[in-house]
Every structure is written in C-alpha cells, then in structure tokens.
A and B are shown apart, each in its own frame.
Chain A
C-alpha cells in the first residue's frame, strides 16, 4: 500500500455532528444548522469567497463536525454579512446568523483580531461610539461638522456623558466587559506561548 493511501485511510474522520460547537448553536436556538446538507449554495453566492479562502460551506461543516480550528481561522472574519447565503439557502438556514454566532464562540475563546479587540475593548466601551469624534486626535472631524453648519459634537453619547455611563453599565451587566477582559487575557497568554515556542 502506498504511503498516501495509508495516510488517507488513517486520516482523522469526523463522523458525528454532535460536536461541542454544534451544541452551542443548539443552545442558542440555532439548531437549524443541523439541517445543512453542504450543498454549497452559500459559497456559490458569496462575494468574499470569490476573492479569499473563506468558504461558507466549509465553515458551517467544520462547526457541525467539531473541527475547532475553524474558530482560529481568520476566514470567518472575512464574511461581509451581505446575507446572500441567508437568502438563498435551499434549506432556509439563516447562514449569516450562523457565521455571526460562530464568531461569538471564537471571541469567547479569545480568538479575536487585534483591530477588532481594540475597537470593542477600548473605543466602543469608553465612548459608546464605534467611530468617535471626541478627543484631541479627532479635532478635524469636529471642524468638518462645523464646516457644514452642524454643532462640533452630535447629540449622541458624545454630548451626554451620563449616556456613556448607561451604556457601560449595560455592557457590564450583560457580560460584555467580562468577555473582553477574558479575551484580552487569553490573547496575551497565547502570544506568550507563541513567543516561547519561537525561542525554542
């Protein structure tokens, strides 16, 4: 028997769709993921998959079979949530929502890209905006507003400090603060481990 054939026979086969990740979907009321027959309609209509290695079908399949490497993959962050897969799925699976949930599970385990982490952990939490206009570095945006006859800061959280506190209170209560602290810790631990491995 050739080496390749032997490798093929002994390859890791995922038989069950009863994985830990799949269970998380079921717990979140998204048990419809189990209706996926891997037809690939999602991938066929995916504008991201046309130019990247992101394959919607593969991501769903890996989630179902418990291939946890899907959580570490940058691919799941290349979905632009255009919802074509959601609209066209012949099994009526809300595919885009599945990808969003998959990202939630990834973040829980500390797999969140640095720019996303900074956005959530710092910018959104401290200002209440995802794209803020306050602070010294953002003066040009306030000037820009004024150049169109608008007040330098909009009547959003930017003009109401107590509203920022309200948002932070909600973020603490609902578990966002804890989630981000945990993700930050896991990211740090992983970076340290990678560094040590590199040294050896």
Chain B
C-alpha cells in the first residue's frame, strides 16, 4: 500500500467491466487516483458469481466463490470495491450472510481450506459510489470540480442492487427514492431530470437478458421512452450491466420495437465516473470517452459524440 494515498481499495472488476465495457474500468482507476484513493488489483479474482444466474443455479456455489473473491482482498488488507451493481449484490449479500450465520461461515471455510484460503469477513465490500459518497464525501469531491456543465440534462439510472435489498445496503433503508447519485451528478453542474419510473429496473438482470432478450428489451423500451419524454440529453448509470442494456440494448430496442417507438433512440450512455472525471478536468482519453473507430462491433454502440459536442461548449 502506498501511504501517499488517503484511501486504499481493492478493485473487484467482475466480468462486464473488464471484458465488455473497459472504458468504465479506465475511468474508475483514473478518477480514484485523482481523488487520492489508491486502487489495488485483486489478482485471480473470478466472476462474482452473478447473482441472477449462478446464485439462481446453485446457492452454495455462489456463496463459496464469492467468499473466495472477498478473501483475495483480505489477503491484501483492503476493502473490495466494485463498480457493478451485480457484483455489489453478490459480494455484499454473501458478506452479510456470512457475518450473520456462524455455521455457514464455518462451512464455507471448510471448502476454502481445500484451496488453502480462509474467509475472515473483516472487510466490508463496497460500491464505487459508496466509496465516493460515504467514504470520501460530497465535500471532498466538490474540491476537485474544475469545470461546471451549464446546460446538461441527465437521466440518472440507479439500477437495482445498489440499493436493494435495503436491509443489506448502507443507505439507511432508502430504496424507493434515493438521492446520492443525483447529488454527485449535480456537483458537476448538470441537472438531474425527474422521469417516470426513474427507479425501475433496466431489464437485463436476474438471468432475464440471457433467457429472453426481447423481455429485457421491453423493460428498456419503457425506460427509454420515459427518459425521452422528460427531455434528457444523456443517461448516467452506475452499473456496467445496466450500461450494456441501455447502450447495446438501446440498439435492440430500436430494432425489435421499431414500429412502436417512432423515432429510434440515440441517448448517449455515460458511467458516473466518466462524467465526474470530465468535470474534474481529467483528459477524456483517460476516461474512456474517446472511441477508436478502427475497432468494429464494440461499444459504445450508441455514439456518445453528441454528449461530447454538447459539453465542449459548456466547459468553462
């Protein structure tokens, strides 16, 4: 650990961030470094495993693999943080269960002993947003704002597992209308626009996207319609699977529901640390905001150039 940093975290990457939306990984690493928080790798970490699929197939496997992932952070001695609501759901719920059930913890450790590992349970798994909002705090973030957006209308999308189940989350039981992501977004000068069913699920999670893509897309169609009706410029989210569903899924919606939606959707999707980093004055290249156009078939599928053009004139 480098003592020059005030905070230290073990970045639990999961699957979708490093393997499909690595621009999110780049923005988390650079924004945290900028804020004085050291990001350490968790070598050999696996899939969390995903709560909607692998937990739904076999709960014991889910718990044991999750405990192994947390044990990697324990070895280094840092809190695991994740930028993914799904990974957060898994790591946090597993941690919560193991903290409250001694017998279960004993059993899990018997399995881990077979690969020479132990789960202690001393380090709370956190979300990237939790680290920003609860560990560092709004005042700390405010000190780093260099540019303020003067006219940017944002649809904040929370996703589900960042706030629910609320008894296992750090937001004092608030799940119906949380405000913490909106508060961070508004630090940048952007306006968080209220839209119908703002807290609704994107549709991808819980194995639904893998099971029937059209059902997931129908959730997304409803969300996008409500966002467009509210007149937003961009979507800001805090989960790569929501991000995938709102970006790649937006194309799918345009295709599957083309007769129902009228104009196709083209709302740029931006991850919270990308927006925040831009307001801090970090090079957009380091925030994964500049696409290499030689690559094909890779995200962002919905161009974020309209967003970059919009804020170019707004950056004071």
Contact = CB atoms under 8 A, between A and B. Distances in A.
Contact of B25 (A141, A147, A154, A169): A154
A159 B45 CA distance: 10
A176 B58 CA distance: 7
B55 A100 contact: yes
A173 interface: yes
B65 A170 contact: yes
B22 A150 contact: yes
Interface string B37-62: 00001111111011111111111110
B13 interface: yes
Interface stretch (B121-129, B149-157, B290-298): B290-298
A129 interface: yes
Interface string A23-39: 00000100000000000
A52 B22 CA distance: 33
A129 B94 CA distance: 18
Contacts of B316: none
Contacts of B304: none
A47 B211 contact: no
Interface residues of B, number: 70
A74 interface: yes
Contacts of A67: none
B311 interface: no
A149 B282 CA distance: 15
A88 to B, nearest CB: 9
Interface in A18-68: 28, 47-48, 51-52
Contacts of B164: 82-84, 86-87
Interface string A153-195: 0111111101110110111011110010000000000000000
Interface stretch (B180-188, B202-210, B261-269): B202-210
Contacts of A171: 61, 65
Interface in A126-161: 128-133, 138, 140-141, 143-145, 147-150, 154-160
Contacts of B298: 140-141, 143-144
B134 to A, nearest CB: 21
10 contacts: A82-B164, A83-B164, A96-B165, A100-B56, A107-B57, A115-B210, A160-B44, A163-B45, A167-B65, A176-B60
